[in-house]
Amino acid sequence: MKYPYFEKIDCNEWMRKQKPKSIDCVITSPPYNLDIKYSRYKDNMSRKDYLDWFNQVTKEIKRVLKDDGHFFLNVGSINSDPYVAMDVCNEVRKEFVLQNNFTWVKHIAVHDKGYGQYKPITSKRYTSNTTESIFHFTKDGNVEVNRLAIGQRNKTHEKYPELYSENRHRAVARRKVSKKLGFSNYKSFLESSSEKEKKEFEVILKQVMKDDPYDPNKPKCIGNAWFIPYIPTSKLSKNIGAKSDHNFREISRGNHPATFPLQLPIQCIKFSGIKKGSIVYDPFVGTGTTVLAAKILGMKGVGNDIDGDYLNFAKKRIIAETKEIQQELNLI
């Protein structure tokens, strides 16, 4: 197989032809069954048929995924049908363990500032829907990840001091050394250590601080709320020369009605900690966003869709965007 690889086929059919345990990471966003207007796919099964179908998809994913593989599943809901994501999650739960549960935040208000994009609604009952779920499933709930690969050194709230200070780093090291010498903590070390132990303590502490020095820029885990704003299709299109009388969605998204932003699969791949050259598969690849992310990060991307027009767009997009994005957005 030559990568990136796209095939126009029903994803279950494709997976059935693959060897078991051959894929490192699945990242996908399936149709949500919310009657979205795709060019070919009809997004309007009964809820029961939809969940039964998704159960089959899940079983196939489980078969082709390696035992230490990752399955990132992005699903959203709408106000009038708020259970879609939860129902899908419960279906997958029959086969996988939910190891991490992320919320994709598309828009957020902090004090008097708003960040991101969302579709505003007019309603007397609902709020605008600004989040979706990204479920991180694994086979046994015990797969190592690299959360610091997407970590950052953010400032904490002005009112509260930064927890990771030099003093705190030193205190953690002192506790570690105390435990190493058989004390329950540093306080008990101070109270009951001998002169010989005190000398030994200083030698070990010096080494520990040398091996792991205080680094004010050390990244920390960003938690499970991922702020990933959309880039509006108008902006994407204008970047590639479109004028205001053009159909921006057609130009920048091949008329696909439901794509996720590139940053989403990039974040999943980095978080998973999979090695370069790993196979990343999207059974519902649409415009190829997952495969583009895989290529940018040095992975082997594979995607299926039943709609050949979306796949044709995806192939052109990969060629056009790979170099440009790496350089301009500095995503790596």
Ligand X SMILES: C[S@@+](CC[C@H](N)C(=O)[O-])C[C@H]1O[C@@H](n2cnc3c(N)ncnc32)[C@H](O)[C@@H]1O
In the complex, the residues that contact ligand X under the rule CB under 6 A are 10-11, 29-31, 38, 41, 256, 258-260, 283-284, 286-287, 289, 304-307, 310
CB 55 to ligand X: min, Å: 13
Smallest distance from the beta carbon of 79 to ligand X, in angstroms?
A: 19
Strand order from edge to edge, sheet including 65-75: 5-8, 300-305, 279-282, 23-28, 65-75, 131-138, 97-105, 225-227
- CB 91, CB 54: distance < 8 Å: yes
- Neighbour count for residue 174 (Cβ, 10 Å): 19
Kindly list the distances between the CA atom of residue 47 and the CA atoms of 50, 51, 87, in Å, as whole numbers in the listed order. 5, 6, 9
Closer CB to ligand X, residue 11 or residue 143?
11
Question: Which residue has its beta carbon closest to ligand X?
Answer: 286
Burial (0-12, 13-18, 19+ Cβ within 10 Å), 18: middle
Q: Which is nearer to ligand X, 174 or 256 (CB)?
A: 256
When the beta carbons of 102 and 186 are compared against ligand X, the nearer one is 102
User: Is the previous residue joined to 283 through a cis bond, with omega within 30 degrees of 0?
Assistant: no
Nearest-approach distance from CB 227 to ligand X, in angstroms: 18
Q: Are 42 and 306 in contact (CB under 8 A)?
A: no
Q: How far is the CB of 96 from ligand X (least distance, A)?
A: 19
Q: What is the nearest approach in angstroms of ligand X to the Cβ of residue 328?
A: 20
Find out whether 71 and 136 touch, Cβ atoms under 8 Å. yes
Angle at 74 between CA 68 and CA 122, to 5 degrees: 165
Question: Phi then psi for 45, rounded to 5 degrees?
Answer: -75, 170
Least Å from the CB of residue 310 to ligand X: 5
Q: How far is the CB of 254 from ligand X (least distance, A)?
A: 8
Nearer to ligand X, 200 or 309 (CB): 309
- Please, which residues bridge with residue 282 across strands? 303
Is the separation of the CB atoms in 269 and 324 below 8 Å? Answer: no
- Furthest-apart CA atoms within the chain: distance in Å: 82
Which CB, 105 or 258, lies closer to ligand X? 258
Task: Output 267 or 304, the one with its CB closest to ligand X.
Answer: 304
The continuous run of DSSP H or E covering 237 comes out as helix 233-239
Q: CB-wise, 31 or 69, nearer to ligand X?
A: 31
CB of 43 to ligand X, least distance (A): 8
Nearest to ligand X of 209, 306 (CB atom): 306
CA distance 315 to 305: 12
